[in-house]
Structure 1
Amino acid sequence: MKNVIGIGSALVDILTRIDNDDILKELDIRKGSMHLVDEKSTAIIEKRLENYESSMAPGGSAANTIHALSKMGIESGFISFIGKDEIGKFFENSMSSVGVKSYLFHTDTASGTARTIISADGERTFATNLGASLELNERVITSDIFKQWDYCYVEGYLIANKPVFVKTISTAKACGCKVVLDLASFNVVEENRDFLNELLPQIDIIFANEEEAKALTLMSAEESLHYIAEKVEIAVVKVGKNGSLIKRGNEVVQIGCNKIDVVDTTGAGDMYAAGFLYGLINDYDLESCGIIGNHLAESIIQVIGAKMDEERWEMFKKNLRN
C-alpha cells in the first residue's frame, strides 16, 4: 500500500471558545483567518482570553492530516522542528502514539503554538506563534527522506518559508512522490497568489475551500475547480454545507453533505484531506474518496479541536467498513 509523508508546522493547539466576536475586533484579528503572531502579541491574546476556559491538543495543519491517516492504517511520516520543552514532548508523543514515523528535529527555541479561537457558530480563527517550526530549513529536505514515500503532503502555511516550500516540492517530485497541497487559509493565498499560480503545474493534487479557491483564481468555486484542474491531476474545492467539488481530467464529481450541528470547525479541512487520500491510496473512485473525506470532516466538527476520541474513531471506522 502507498504511503504519505507530511511537512509543516509542529504546533500544539490551545483551544478557547468565545461567546462574542467583538473580542476578535478588539484584538484586530479577522474572523476565520490565520494570523502569525510574535511573543508580544501572543501575550496580549492570552491576557484577553484568560477568563475563558481553554484546552490543549496536538495540532498543525499537515500534522492533523498525517495523524488521521496513520489512525486509518496508512503508513505516514512527518517532518518538522520542535523545542526541547513539554509542548514539544506532548506533540512528539501524540504522533508516535498512532505510529507516525517522525522526522522531528529538536532546537532550543520554544515549540510552536496555535491559539484557536472558536466563535459561537463554530468558526475558528487562529493566532499562531510558529516558534521552533520557523527553524525548518532546506538542509533537512533530502532525497534520503523522500525516496521512501509515495505522496508528499504539504500544508499551505509553509508558503511563509518559500525556500523550504520550493525545495520540498522539487525534491519530492525528483524522488517520484506525488505532491499534495492544501491551500490552508485564504489570507495566505491572497498574499501569495502569483507565486502559487506559477507553482501549480508542479502540484499533483490541490485541496482548497471556496474562499481559498477564490483568493487563488478570483473566480467562483466551480470556475476555480476547472481552472485548477487544468494545471493539476486532481482538484478539490470544498464548498461548506454544500459539500465538495472534485475534478480529474474530464471527470467532475459533486459530493453533498449531511446536516450536522457544528461545534468547532477546527481541523475539518485537514480531516477531509485525510479521508480523501485514504480513499485514493485504496484505489477508490473519486466519489468514494469525497464521501470518505466528508464523513471524516463531519465527525471532527462535532467535537472541540482537531482530534477525535477512540469511541468516535471506532464509529467512523465501522461506517468505513460498511
Structure 2
Amino acid sequence: MKNSTTQKTVVGIGSALVDVLVQLTDDQLLDNFQLPKGSMTLVDADLSQKILDSTKGLDRTIETGGSAANTIRAIAQVGGKTGFIGKISKDEMGQFFKNEFENAQIQPHLFYSQIPTGKAATLISPDSERTFGTYLGAASELSVAELSEDVFAAYDYLHIEGYLVFNHELIEGVLKLAKKQGLKIALDMASFNVVEANLEFLGHLLDEYVDIVFANEEEAKSYTGLEPEEALRKLGEQCEIAVVKVGKEGSMILAGDEFIRVKTPQVKSLDTTGAGDVYAAGFLYGLANGFDLQSCGTLASTMASEVIQVLGAKIPESALKGIQQQIEKIHG
C-alpha cells in the first residue's frame, strides 16, 4: 500500500559497504596501486587488504558506505521516510552496517551472504578529492531473485546507484519490479569510469526506466561527449528531470522546458566523499515533500556543502539544525 501522507517515501538499492576512510599525505599510493584519482575501482579481497595494509599509520575512520546507502542515510538524517535494499554478511562489518541503519530509523531490507561484507578503501587526497578501491564482497551477490514487488509496494521513489550497472540482470530486474509498483526511478551515474564502461546499457536504462538522473560534469561528459549545459539538455531528452553538478559552480536542473541554475555555498572542502550522494538526498527529500525544483536544488546544495567540510559522507550533527530551519522556511 502506498504512503498516503504528504511526505512520500524513498527506498534505495545499492552496495551495502563499510567505508574505511584514509587521509593521504600525497597521491603516491594511488599511483602504486594504479587507482585513477577521483574514480571508483573494483578490487578483489586480496588487493583490498594490500591497499589498507599500505595505509597503516595514516589517520583512518570507518562508517557505512555505498553510494545509494549514503543518499538514504542523509534523507533519514533530515527526517525523510526511507528504506534500503542491500546484501551483507553476518560478520562484524555487516553487523555495524545493520545497526547504523536501524539506529537511523531506516527500514532495512537486508539479505545475507557467506562471503564477507563489502568494504571500500576511501583514499582522501590532500586536495580533498577521494578515490575508492572497492571490494564488493557480499554486495556483489545481491540478486533480483531475492526480491519481490512487495519490497517496493510501500515506497514512492527508488534511488539506484550507477555502480550497480555492472550487474545488468540485477539492475534491469529491479527497475521492472519497481515500475510495476508505480515508483519514480532516480539514478545517480556514480563515476565517470563506470559510465564509460556501460554507455550503451546506461542509454537503454535512461530511455526505458529512469525518471530522474544525477550526474557530475565528468560523468555527463563521459555519457554525452558534451560540456555541462549541452550534456544536461541531452540528458533532459531522456528523463523527466536531469541534474548536472558542476562543483563550486553549483548545479543545473532541467525538467521539460524548465531550466534552473543553483548556486552552491562557498565553503572550505576537506573531503568530497559522498558529496554527490548527499546532493541527491537533498533533492529527493525535496521532491518527496512537494518542493519546487529550485528549492530541491538549493536544499541539495546546502546539504552537500555541509558534508564536504567533514571527513566521510555523513552530515555532521552540528549542521542538522540549520538544514532543518531551511526546510521549515521552504515549507512556509
Q: TM-score range by the shorter chain?
A: over 0.9
Give the TM-score normalised by the residue count of structure 2: 0.95
Once the 2 structures are TM-superposed, how far is the Cα of residue 146 of structure 1 from its aligned partner? 1.1
- Measure, in 2, the Cα distance between the counterparts of 1:181 and 1:268: 15
1:14 paired residue among 16, 20, 34: 20
Aligned runs of 1:91-130 on 2, under 5 Å?
A: 91-130=97-136
State the one-letter code of the partner of 1:163.
E
Q: Is the 8 A contact 2:76 2:105 kept in 1?
A: yes
Q: Is the 8 A contact 1:138 1:164 kept in 2?
A: yes
Is 1:33 the counterpart of 2:44? The answer is no
Same amino acid, percent of matched pairs: 45
- Measure, in 1, the Cα distance between the counterparts of 2:220 and 2:75: 24
Aligned match of 2:173: 167
Aligned match of 2:248: 241
1:308 paired residue among 282, 304, 315: 315
Aligned match of 1:139: 145
Moved over 4 A (4+): none
Aligned match of 2:62: 56
- Measure, in 1, the Cα distance between the counterparts of 2:327 and 2:79: 12
- Measure, in 2, the Cα distance between the counterparts of 1:145 and 1:40: 34
Is 1:88 the counterpart of 2:94? The answer is yes
SS in 2 for 1:121: coil
Of the structure 1 ranges 213-222 and 46-55, higher mean CA displacement relative to structure 2 is found in 46-55
Show structure 2 runs of 5+ residues with no match: 1-6
- Measure, in 1, the Cα distance between the counterparts of 2:327 and 2:156: 23
SS in 1 for 2:105: coil
Once the 2 structures are TM-superposed, how far is the Cα of residue 204 of structure 1 from its aligned partner? 0.3
SS in 1 for 2:126: coil
Once the 2 structures are TM-superposed, how far is the Cα of residue 320 of structure 1 from its aligned partner? 2.9
- Measure, in 1, the Cα distance between the counterparts of 2:53 and 2:106: 35
Aligned match of 2:229: 222
Give per-residue Cα distances to partners, 1:146-192, cap 9 Å, x unaligned: 12211010000011111110111111111100010000011000000
Is 1:257 the counterpart of 2:264? The answer is yes
Aligned match of 2:4: none
Once the 2 structures are TM-superposed, how far is the Cα of residue 104 of structure 1 from its aligned partner? 0.5
The aligned length equals: 322
Give per-residue Cα distances to partners, 1:244-288, cap 9 Å, x unaligned: 010000000011112210000001001100101111111111111
Aligned match of 1:318: 325
Aligned match of 1:71: 77
- Measure, in 2, the Cα distance between the counterparts of 1:300 and 1:228: 27
Q: Is the 8 A contact 2:121 2:133 kept in 1?
A: yes
Once the 2 structures are TM-superposed, how far is the Cα of residue 315 of structure 1 from its aligned partner? 3.0
Of the structure 1 ranges 282-291 and 29-38, higher mean CA displacement relative to structure 2 is found in 282-291
Aligned match of 1:296: 303
Q: Is the 8 A contact 2:306 2:316 kept in 1?
A: no
SS in 1 for 2:83: strand
SS in 2 for 1:283: coil
1:188 paired residue among 170, 194, 204: 194
Once the 2 structures are TM-superposed, how far is the Cα of residue 42 of structure 1 from its aligned partner? 1.1
State the one-letter code of the partner of 2:61.
S
- Measure, in 1, the Cα distance between the counterparts of 2:217 and 2:318: 31
Q: Is the 8 A contact 2:260 2:294 kept in 1?
A: yes
SS in 2 for 1:20: coil
- Measure, in 2, the Cα distance between the counterparts of 1:316 and 1:52: 32
Once the 2 structures are TM-superposed, how far is the Cα of residue 120 of structure 1 from its aligned partner? 0.6
Q: Is the 8 A contact 2:307 2:316 kept in 1?
A: no
SS in 2 for 1:82: strand
